[in-house]
Amino acid sequence: MNKAISLITSILTIILLTSCVSIPIQKVEVTRLVPQTVQVTVITTPVSPTSVSHTLESENAVYFEGISVIAQYYKLLDQALYEQ
């Protein structure tokens, strides 16, 4: 009888010890990607060449021509007119 009581006590102790152990809950996040069609319309304005006043000194004229070329380059780049 003592063996049966000690066996039952051991089994209950094992059951209680294993039920007290907490297993961390794993969370799963599901993301669904839905493709969407985007319609893009690009309206470009014609780029007019910037004229430089010829009354400036020749050194200043070259400087301002360089600035106008750079400005025109970035304007075309902004409008995605890469070939021009």
Contact criterion met (CB below 8 Å) for 52 and 61: yes
State the pLDDT at residue 16. Answer: 76
pLDDT score, position 13:
85
pLDDT in tens, the chain (84 residues): 778 888 889 888 888 777 666 667 778 888 887 777 777 777 777 766 665 555 546 666 777 788 888 888 888 888 877 676
Q: Looking at residue 68, what is its pLDDT?
A: 84
Spell out where the chain has E strands: none
Q: 80 with 43: CB under 8 angstroms?
A: no
CB atoms within 10 A of CB 81: 12
**Domain spans in the chain, listed from the N-terminal domain onward:** 47-84
* Confidence at residue 72, expressed as pLDDT on a 0 to 100 scale: 87
Question: Do 64 and 56 form a contact (C-beta atoms < 8 A)?
Answer: yes
* Cβ–Cβ < 8 Å for 52, 65: yes
Whether pTM exceeds 0.75? no
